[in-house]
Structure 1
């Protein structure tokens, strides 16, 4: 199948790209299992011993190359993060889609404690900056592209685009209190997994950037505050582990709203191929419109 013939990045297309990348990297593609589909398609390969990430768009290539550089930097300073697998040059590129291979972490579903998360994030932010440039954080960069490609109702697209404009203006007014520096960019419980020895490791390194450290704290706070996915004790452990409670900062609600918007637009990418995702997008948008509780948002 050529680039021009491929019309959608769905699970079948992603797996086709993965199988071809495995051949190029010299990996035996047995036991392939999809984990999730978002900005990347994530697969377990070789019975979970390897995890592969297939970029949705060719424009993901710069961030994936940065992800590989970040992984090598963190390994060099002995920070507990995901490690690249195979001796092949990475990323492997198939039809413009960047594909990377990583050492599997346990069964992929054993998470760190929230206190460990806070301590790991504090340690990460305390590292000397990497020996290469990181881009500045631009939280809204992905919103436009996601909405352009999403198969959602016109009214929904218009509302989300308008909300993005409003929040962009609010973001520019924020007075951050933590010193800026390098960021993970997507720090949450799903991205801190245990390895085979039970040690926590930070994964999904493609969002590294420079910017306000508050950005790395927001998701754990809102997972407790907005969705009830963490208990109060778990959130307290996270804040104590890091040494700062972002909910006490006046700009918290603005960052929370931005992250909620990103969660909706991330999911909107799958609306055309997944009826459950499409329904969840509309449900989430209705709560954004009405200001009602987010407790009914289903994890994806």
Structure 2
């Protein structure tokens, strides 16, 4: 599949091994008076996310440089959404947000138990219509610049071959050129930036949105793209795009610019874990599957979520 010789390796994560993550978690918990014992690592891709066992709290440790740079925006966005009583996860009150620990930016969140029905495309449509209708915007919310994050990931890969690195850099140039030529049809505004079913929690009071790393001012078509690409590319049991398009009132796959946004989304899905390919070796087989089919422009290949 992909070559593993002549690797490009730059460690900007501060060595985010599993031992390192647990050490950071212990320091954070000590600062805020929480017990880290029994904490569960529920995600380790762009961020490392722990759910505490002894308190309804989630601890989120930013990994790569790109993710760390987005943390202040994440905090502002979360407070803005809370101010509008929008159904989204809430920052843990009464502590420093974000918290800097040994060079890492860390946020703490109120845990939302997943007890409701599994959210689907129709639920995403409701959330997006409401989000896109909110007045104003968080102060200093950045403009949508998707290639910046991708290029940052490519500046700090772990165990990426020089051939694959060069291919992905060329792909960035090509996608960026095609993005500049798009004519959007929906009015721009606040976007979440990464609305797929994995970022919607089935809370006790209904679906809530999480993960605000990609919240910017940008094209609303982009917020409709992840679910559409998920239905086309991921090995999911059912199509969630159709109810999303019907509920939102716009089918992004029928828009002439969708092929470009699809390629951008898949480029993000391939590059998202580059800074932790060595730190989290369990994701490498799935990454290689994605990289191989993406490089071959095989649009029929199915991908699995990173575990």
| Structure with bigger RCO (C-alpha 8 Å, 6+ apart) | 2
The alpha carbon displacement at 1:67 in A equals 1.4
TM score, norm. by length of structure 2: 0.89
- Structure 2: gaps (5+ residues): 1-10
Give 1:131 deviation, angstroms: 4.7
Which residue of structure 2 lines up, in the alignment, with residue 187 of structure 1? 195
**Residues 1-80 of structure 1: pairs in structure 2 closer than 5 A:** 7-47=14-54, 49-57=56-64, 60-80=67-87
**Is the 1:21–1:94 Cα contact (8 Å) retained in structure 2?**
yes
Select 1:256's aligned residue among 233, 246, 262: 262
Q: Are the structure 2 counterparts of residues 243 and 145 from structure 1 closer, same or farther at C-alpha, using a change threshold of 3 Å? A: same
| Unmatched tracts of structure 1, length 5 or more | none
C-alpha change, 1:262 and 1:109, in structure 2 (3 Å) is: farther
Q: Mean Cα displacement is larger for which, 283-292 or 270-279?
A: 270-279
User: What secondary structure sits across from 2:155 in the alignment?
Assistant: helix
In the TM superposition, residue 230 of structure 1 has moved relative to its aligned partner by 5.8
Q: Tell me the distance in 1 between the aligned counterparts of 2:17 and 2:301.
A: 28
How far apart in 1 are the matches of 2:260 and 2:113?
A: 36
Contact 1:108 1:193 in 2 (8 A): no
Relative distance call for 1:75 and 1:11 in structure 2 (3 A) is same
Measure the CA separation in 2 of the matches of 1:199 and 1:7: 38
TM-fit CA distance, 1:130: 2.3
CA contact 2:46–2:272 (8 Å) conserved in 1:
yes
1:162 lines up with 2:166 in the alignment: no
Question: Deviation of residue 65 (structure 1)?
Answer: 1.9
CA distance in 1 between counterparts of 2:291 and 2:250 reads 31
1:50 shift after superposition: 1.2
For 1:239, the equivalent position in structure 2 comes to 245
Q: 1:286, 1:142 → 2: CA distance?
A: 22
Q: For residue 171 of structure 1, what is the aligned residue in structure 2?
A: 179
TM-score by length of 1: 0.90
Structure 2 partner of 1:92: 99
Q: Aligned equivalents of 1:10 and 1:109: distance in 2?
A: 34
Q: CA deviation at 1:46?
A: 2.8
Instruction: Tell me how far 1:62 sits from its aligned partner.
Output: 4.6
SS in 2 for 1:20: helix
* Aligned position for 1:138: 145
* TM-fit CA distance, 1:29: 1.7
Pair 1:283-2:295 in alignment: no
Q: Structure 1, residues 84-143: CA drift from partner, whole Å, max 9, x if none?
A: 124112111101211111111214997422101111101100100225121011111122
Q: Distance in 2 between matches of 1:227 and 1:88?
A: 38
Q: 1:261 to 1:62 in 2, by over 3 A?
A: closer
Choose which of 102, 108, 129 in structure 1 pairs with 2:136: 129
Which stretch of the first structure deviates more once superposed, 39-48 or 247-256? 39-48
Pair 274,41 (structure 1): closer, same or farther in 2 beyond 3 Å: closer
C-alpha contact (below 8 Å) 2:126/2:247 kept by paired residues = yes
